[in-house]
Amino acid sequence: MAAESIPGEKAVTALKDGFRGLVLRPDDPGYDEARAVWNGMIDRRPALVAQCAGVADVIDAVNFAREQDVLVAVKGAGHNIAGNAVCDDGLVIDLSPMHAVRVDPEARTARVEPGAILADVDHETQAFGLATPVGYNSTTGIAGLTLGGGFGWLSRKYGMTVDNLRSVDVVTADGQLRHASETENGDLFWGVRGGGGNFGVVTSFEFDLHPVGPEVLSGLLIHPLADAADVLREYREVAAEAPDEAAVWFVLRHAPPLPFIPEEWHGRKVLILAAFYAGDVDAGEGALRPFREIGDPIVDVVSPHQYAAWQQAFDALLTEGARNYWKSHNFVEITDGMIENFVEYAASMPTPLSEIACAQLGGAINRVPVEATAYPHRDAEFVMNLHTRWEDPARDEECIAWARELYDAMTPHATGGVYVNFVPEEVGEERAAYRENYDRMIELKNEYDPENLFRMNQNVEPTV
């Protein structure tokens, strides 16, 4: 509905009058910036954007949406590939002004507000030589990352982001603020650990922290695409024997124009092994050596780096504004057929901005029982993400088709599960995202959001 047709103009005025943050309409300054998200394909015009300054604002916004029966989307920070953080005509609850991070170095915990990005978290925790497993791009939003499960360089050693979540504060659909942990509202705590935004608006995350850095062993090994098949066959054998502290991911893409890559390779297709060791640098030298001995790399820049800098190393490849379409699969192994597909589709990659990325999981992630959290993919050893990126809208059909074709080619090798944060479609992959835990999530939805107020997500529909 258009802004002028929202029922109850008095209610809109009352919301604005009682709000500590800003309530923006389409004609207000800052509205276009507030409705924008990282994915340039998303262009939606909400009737209202409620930029919350604190928990009271969130409660007021949720109550308004429920009482006025308007479509509501919840916007944190970061990427939001599917665009569900914004909606046409309804209300966007914008949490981006809430980005504080408070570290307790003695307890080794951090309380993080939902508008924080990973760079905010790393900046504060690394001041004390601490970190929690988060993603691999520092502009990612902590809220979306965590609610979907969350994984990164530390996850093989310390588990998923949700495995390090100690508690949350959640505003549920009835406008109540609930604290949830293993000992309080445990069912809700289970659901937010992988269930996306289905159960409410999280206003605070409490994480366990671990000693990390400030210096870690990390870096890139770059091989010609012509060698990719041989390198990947050897990589899978080495990766199977790697300790939990070692995480080595691979990416097929055009070589970016980075100063440590020989200029004659700029723009040419390559295979990149991105290596990381979560522990003592000297121990990491031995653990990563087998990966460095694979093939004859063009570049080997594995060396000590500041952890926070490594977390930001790939930010320039995922800047906002480009058009993005992602597809994802989980795998228990790298098969010969997968390697053939990787090489074939890398050769036909549609744009220099696109890439085929595959993260190494396993380790501590897979030692958590499937039923312990809503995130169910405890069998995955690798997760593939097709980052299809381009700038010209005229190429939408071509680029999306390439991603879908590679996704289909990989399906016979996959587990049938998908990481919910990598799903580009608004609807349609809920069963694959939540798998064995889907029925329990319906029960939670029935309890905490029976009217499906929070449906702008990979939605679990209530049955009541």
**Strand ranges in 172-306 using DSSP code E only, listed in sequence order:** 177-181, 201-208, 210-211, 215-224, 246-254, 269-277, 299-300, 303-306
Q: Residue 6: pLDDT above 70? A: no
φ, ψ at 87 (rounded to 5°): -140, 160
Same domain? For 357 and 407 the reply is yes
Asked if 154 contacts 131 with a C-beta cutoff of 8 angstroms, the reply is yes
Same domain? For 237 and 345 the reply is yes
Task: Enumerate residues 6+ apart whose C-beta is below 8 A from 198.
Answer: 191, 441, 444, 445, 449, 454, 457, 459, 460
Same domain? For 249 and 392 the reply is yes
Q: How much is the pTM? A: 0.94
Q: Which H or E run includes 11?
A: helix 9-17
N- to C-terminal Cα separation, the chain: 26
Same domain? For 85 and 129 the reply is no
| Rounded Cα–Cα distance for residues 256 and 270 (Å) | 10
State the pLDDT at residue 319: 86
Same domain? For 204 and 221 the reply is no
pLDDT in tens, 69-117: 999 999 998 888 888 999 999 999 999 999 999 999 999 999 999 999 9
pLDDT > 70 fraction of the chain, expressed in percent and rounded: 98
The CATH number given to whatever domain includes residue 402 is: 3.40.462.20
Same domain? For 252 and 281 the reply is yes
Judged on CB neighbours under 10 Å (0-12, 13-18, 19+), 71 is: middle
Six-digit token string for 235: 């990589």
Six-digit token string for 356: 């085929």
DSSP strand pairing (48-51 vs 91-94): parallel
The answer as to whether 360 is a domain residue is yes
Same domain? For 220 and 291 the reply is yes
- Taking CA atoms, 461 is separated from 383, 421, 447, in Å, by 26, 18, 12
Q: What is the mean pLDDT of residues 178-183?
A: 98
Same domain? For 271 and 374 the reply is yes
Q: What is the mean pLDDT of residues 301-327?
A: 93
User: Considering 64, 94, 124, which residue would you say is the last residue of a domain?
Assistant: 94
Q: Which H or E run includes 398?
A: helix 396-410
> Which of 2-16, 92-106, 154-168, 283-297 has the least mean pLDDT?
2-16
How many CA atoms does the CB half-sphere of 221 hold within 13 Å?
A: 25
| Rounded Cα–Cα distance for residues 135 and 138 (Å) | 7
The CATH number given to whatever domain includes residue 132 is: 3.30.465.10
For helices 9-17 and 55-68, angle between their N-to-C axes, nearest 10 degrees: 180
Nearest Cα residue to 407 out of 306, 297, 332, 327: 327
Six-digit token string for 174: 């009835």
pLDDT in tens, 199-258: 999 999 999 999 999 999 999 999 999 999 999 999 999 999 999 999 999 999 999 998
Same domain? For 140 and 89 the reply is no
Within 10 Å of residue 265's Cβ, how many Cβ atoms? 18
- The total domain count for the chain is 3
**What domain range includes position 363?**
215-422
Within 10 Å of residue 114's Cβ, how many Cβ atoms? 27
H helices of 241-372, where? Answer: 281-292, 307-311, 336-347
Task: Enumerate residues 6+ apart whose C-beta is below 8 A from 320.
Answer: 38, 40, 139
337's torsion region: left (phi>0), alpha (psi -120 to 50) or beta?
alpha
User: Considering 71, 94, 117, which residue would you say is the last residue of a domain?
Assistant: 94
State the pLDDT at residue 4: 43
State the pLDDT at residue 2: 45
